[in-house]
Amino acid sequence: MTPAIQLLKKQKIPFQIHEYEVEMSGPGYGNAVAAYLGRPEEQLFKTLIITPDSQHSRLAMAIVPVAFSLNLKAAAKTLGWKKAQMSDHQKAQKATGYVVGGISPLGQKQRLPAVIDQSCSALTTMFFSAGKRGLQIEMAPEDLIKLINAQLADIQG
């Protein structure tokens, strides 16, 4: 059981776990997971860790559908930053406690500011990593938004 699943159980928030087996990684991984689960790519979201610059210790989460890339400029603006870039993998893993490719927005070691693509608000449920490859959480977007105190914005690239 991952910290993300433990948190949802503790908070008594409704969710479902979906297991999958997809061997690839890198570009197209999220799309392959969506296909395996028989869900539209717009319903599966990836959690990306960003920073204002490589010298900065501040981090934040940007959560976007797997079908799209992240618009770093839009994410930075939403967070009140001048610019943003992807965090280095070691910093992301240390802050979240999860391995890159399996980062969940829930149950992280550090509570990071979060921005979620506003497209989630049109969905009944959304999917995202449960904290390791092979597991996805399905839950209502409004529950995730409330739980991580996320801002909604158009951050698709």
pTM: 0.93
The percentage of residues in the chain with a pLDDT greater than 90, rounded to a whole number, is: 80
Task: For residue 148, tell me if it sits in a domain.
Answer: yes
Task: For residue 52, tell me if it sits in a domain.
Answer: yes
Residue 16: beta bridge partners? 138
Task: For residue 3, tell me if it sits in a domain.
Answer: no
Task: For residue 5, tell me if it sits in a domain.
Answer: no
Task: For residue 25, tell me if it sits in a domain.
Answer: yes
Task: For residue 7, tell me if it sits in a domain.
Answer: no
Angle (CA) 89-92-94 rounded to 5° is 105
Residue 136: beta bridge partners? 18, 129
Task: For residue 79, tell me if it sits in a domain.
Answer: yes
Task: For residue 2, tell me if it sits in a domain.
Answer: no
Query: In CATH, what number is assigned to the domain containing residue 48?
Result: 3.90.960.10
For 87-114, how does the pLDDT look when each residue is reduced to its tens digit (9 = 90+)? 999 999 999 999 988 999 999 999 999 9
What is each CA distance from 23 to 20, 41, 109, 134, 156, in whole angstroms? Answer: 10, 18, 27, 9, 26
The number of domains in the chain is: 1
| 15 contacts 127 by C-beta, under 8 angstroms | no
